[in-house]
Amino acid sequence: MPQQPPVRSTGSAPPTRPDASMSLLTNVMEHSLDDGYAEAAARRDAEGGGLPRTLRAKLGLAAGLVLAAAVVTVGAAQARISAPVVAKEREELIDRVEAETAAVDDLEAGVERLRAEVEERQRRALRTQGGEQGELVSLLSGATAVEGPGVKLVVDDAESSDQGGSGPRESSSFSDTGRVRDRDMQRVVNGLWESGAEAVAINGQRLTALSAIRAAGDAILVDNRPLVPPYTVLAVGDGKRLRTAFQNSADGQYLQVLEESFGIRSKISDQDRVSLPAATSLIVRTAEPQSADAGNSDGRAADETGKGTS
């Protein structure tokens, strides 16, 4: 069967565009900028006076730098103006501190001179008023320096306490920290007196019958003067006999227990000659005997006097 020729339309419809099948790409090319975004960009340009963003940023940075430079300049000018005033006030303060320090030093020197004078007068009084036993009274009271054979006892904290151990030295409890406490030194000194020592000194501090061994925090005080370990105890007496008697005494055994149990170190040795200074501070007390009649006249006076002089 023969093919029929295609029927052609006789209407007036326009011909189809060749790129009709690429309408999406054509729309993107013709409208590359979104309408809303374009409107916002136009509005921003209008509000900025037409200046580009980079130019506005540069202008803002320049303004900030100028402001910072102005602040620094003003601060430097004020510091330069106030510097002489501050320097003058500092010099005046230093002068006042030095003047007050010198005044305190002069007062302390005066106090030491007066204390030495009082102590010398007390020593002379003890020697002159003691009668036939004046020298003995002066010796026992610590008013004179002494020299002779004796022993040297060194007591020190345990090695562990030297590496950072700490703890108060008060005598509230037994020594359990490896540190020598005031209670320990009291027993050592009492043991030496009991063993026959004629005079005793700790770290050059002479002890008397009225001396006190106490503690204040980290320090042991002898007559309110702080001492630091190791504690060197010098005692005048028959060296060998004194050493043996002390080691065999209860206080010597107590020191041995401290060494074995807590590591406290001690060493005692005989000495051919030791020198002990005079006591730095003396307390002189006098007593006046009262007759029995004078005491009985008041009923209780005799008893109270006996208690006060015992």
ω into residue 230 within 30 of 0, thus cis?
yes
Rounded CA separation 276/274 (Å): 7
Per-residue pLDDT of the chain (310 residues), as tens digits, is 454 554 444 545 556 656 555 566 666 666 555 666 667 666 766 655 555 667 777 777 888 888 888 888 877 777 777 667 777 788 889 989 999 999 999 999 999 898 878 877 877 776 676 656 666 767 777 778 889 999 999 999 988 765 544 555 565 554 457 889 999 999 999 999 999 999 999 999 999 888 889 988 888 999 888 998 999 999 999 989 999 999 999 999 999 999 998 899 999 999 999 999 888 766 666 667 776 554 444 443 333 333 333 3
Q: Residue 195 has what DSSP assignment? A: T
Rounded CA separation 286/170 (Å): 32
The pLDDT value given to residue 189? 94
- By CB atoms closer than 10 A (0-12, 13-18, 19+), residue 184 is buried
The pLDDT value given to residue 63? 82
The pLDDT value given to residue 301? 36
Rounded CA separation 221/216 (Å): 7
Max CA pair span of the chain: 180
- Nearby residues of 136 by Cβ (< 8 Å), 6 or more positions away: 130
The pLDDT value given to residue 134? 65
pTM recorded for the entire structure: 0.53
Rounded CA separation 108/147 (Å): 30
Contact 190, 245 (CB under 8 A): no
Rounded CA separation 55/93 (Å): 56
Rounded CA separation 116/110 (Å): 10
